[in-house]
Amino acid sequence: MIPPPAPAGQMSQQYRPQRERMVEHLRKHHRIRDERVLRAMAEVPRHLFVPEALRSNAYGDHALPISANQTISQPFIVARMTELLEVDSDSKVLEIGAGSGYQTAVLARVAGSVFAIERIADLAREAQKRIRELGIYNATVKCFDGTLGWDAHAPYDAALAAAGGPDVPEPLLAQLKVGGRLVMPVGQSRDTQRLVRVLRTDKGFEREDHGACAFVPLIGRYGWTNEK
Ligand code: SAH
């Protein structure tokens, strides 16, 4: 059963038709099935997470540049990753690579609480500000190396990394609850990855492959070592 929608708070009515069209595209073309994810994406004003000059392009199904050479993920990949996490309103979620904060805002609409990490200080600060301005209070964005996880709030029901590493960082696995799900891009090259889902069971970890993807690199102690 689909729970009733949370109050829309200060969610913007601007670009509503474009948002509805984006959601129809996710449903029909990409076969996103989770109605809670689709509803969250119909509500979160994506245009407020992109540079002002790109606002009219915010609802196309593509990634866009944000500041500091990073990107806001493509709507399809946000929807797919969120769906794969299988969260509900009681879930505690860890996010690595908050970037613009768009994925953070979507997660906050479907989960109980979100602890998000971003390694670039300006991005982290702006993401937190946007999220608060939208009236979202169950998500916190902090600046540090997310490959270490966020031990203070562990264990998590779900974890998502929006940057590609050579493998899943050990601390993220350690901070996952038994029964928890982790989704992240993993690849031996910095530029292309496979979308991997890891399920923690009482016997260990099970890995699934969810296809090719291309993310910016995950840089940190358990990721890639430097910018290039
Ligand atoms: N979901 C975000 C995607 C941002 S791109 C959005 O839609 O806006 C990925 C982000 O991961 C970048 O902002 C980059 O700075 C960040 N990142 C890379 N390595 C990281 C690390 N070790 N810890 C935290 N953030 C990291």
Residue 72: partners with Cβ closer than 8 Å, 6 or more residues away: 46, 49, 50, 63, 64, 66, 99, 100, 102
159 occurs within a structural domain: yes
Would you state the structure tokens that stand for residue 223, as one six-digit string? 């990721």
Active-site pick, 67, 73, 100, 189: 73
Task: Give the chain's length.
Answer: 228
225 occurs within a structural domain: no
Residue 86: partners with Cβ closer than 8 Å, 6 or more residues away: 158, 181
Q: How many domains does the chain have?
A: 1
Give the pLDDT band (50/70/90) at residue 226.
confident
How far, rounded to the nearest angstrom, does the alpha carbon of residue 144 sit from its chain's CA centroid? 17
How confident is the model over 36-76, as pLDDT tens digits? 999 999 999 999 999 999 999 999 999 999 999 999 999 99
Pocket test for ligand 1, best of 118, 148, 186 (most atoms within 8 A of CB): 118
188 occurs within a structural domain: yes
**CB of residue 198 inside a 6 A radius of ligand 1:** no
Q: Give dist(CA 216, CA 163) in Å, integer.
A: 5
70 occurs within a structural domain: yes
33 occurs within a structural domain: yes
How confident is the model over 131-163, as pLDDT tens digits? 999 999 999 999 999 999 999 999 999 999 999
Say whether 196 sits in a helix, a strand or coil. strand
Q: Give dist(CA 225, CA 123) in Å, integer.
A: 20
Q: Give dist(CA 94, CA 158) in Å, integer.
A: 6
227 occurs within a structural domain: no
224 occurs within a structural domain: no
The CATH code of the domain that includes 146 is 3.40.50.150
pLDDT score, position 187? 97
Q: Give dist(CA 136, CA 220) in Å, integer.
A: 28
Distance 190 CA to ligand 1 centre (A): 14
pLDDT score, position 80? 98
178 occurs within a structural domain: yes
In angstroms, the Cα distances linking 3 to 7, 20, 57, 89 are 12, 20, 31, 9
How confident is the model over 183-196, as pLDDT tens digits? 999 999 998 999 99
How confident is the model over 169-182, as pLDDT tens digits? 999 999 999 999 99
Range of the domain at 60: 8-213
Is pLDDT at 5 greater than 90 in this prediction? no
pTM of the complete model: 0.95
